[in-house]
Copies of this chain bind each other. A is one copy, B any other.
Amino acid sequence: MGSLEEAIKQKEFKDPYNKLVVNLLFTHSYMVSAQNGILKPFDLSPEQYNVLRILRGQNGVPTTVSSIQDRMLNKMSNASRLVDKLKAKELVERRECPSDRRQVDILITEKGLQILNDLHIHMEGFNNQVINLSEEEVILMNNLLDKLRG
């Protein structure tokens, strides 16, 4: 793959900030494509996978749709319809919340936990094959990304 300039056949960027914007968009596409390759046989989109992991992290404590929305990676996407999709595949369960009937409690099912389990080994390999960085570099990059957002 090499440098970004090579990958998208651009001679040079006006300044490093401009390059960073393009670089993040491009690297995102690179990672999502790779992730899709793993998730597709399991019929999951990246955000669906993410929501399942959020629910697993709850350790059986129900979560509302709006709480899922808050924690989703893409703030603009639609948690309600996404949960619908997961429910159709029987990976999550919905329960009307007794204390507030506007809310809906969402729980991951056994089948949902199983699919995450089946995915685990593939995702481990993903890290090694797709992210060509040492652990120190990964930590550094995480710090830079956190700082970037202010």
Residues of A within 8 A of B (CB): 1-4, 7-11, 15-33, 35, 46, 50, 54, 57, 67, 70-76, 123, 126-127, 131-133, 135, 137-142, 144-150
Q: Are B9 and A131 in contact (CB under 8 A)?
A: no
Q: Are B146 and A9 in contact (CB under 8 A)?
A: no
Among all A-B residue pairs, the 7 with the closest Cβ atoms: A17-B127, A28-B28, A1-B149, A132-B150, A16-B138, A25-B73, A23-B145
Q: Are A27 and B24 in contact (CB under 8 A)?
A: yes
Contacting A132 at CB < 8 Å: which of B35, B54, B76, B148?
B148
Q: Write 25 A-B pairs (CB below 8 A) sorted by A numbering.
A: A2-B149, A10-B57, A11-B57, A16-B135, A16-B138, A16-B139, A17-B138, A20-B131, A20-B141, A20-B142, A20-B145, A22-B73, A23-B145, A23-B146, A24-B24, A24-B31, A25-B73, A27-B145, A27-B149, A29-B76, A132-B150, A137-B147, A140-B144, A141-B141, A141-B148
Select from chain B the residue with minimum beta-carbon distance to A2: B146
Question: How many monomers of this protein are in the complex?
Answer: 2
Q: Are B50 and A146 in contact (CB under 8 A)?
A: no
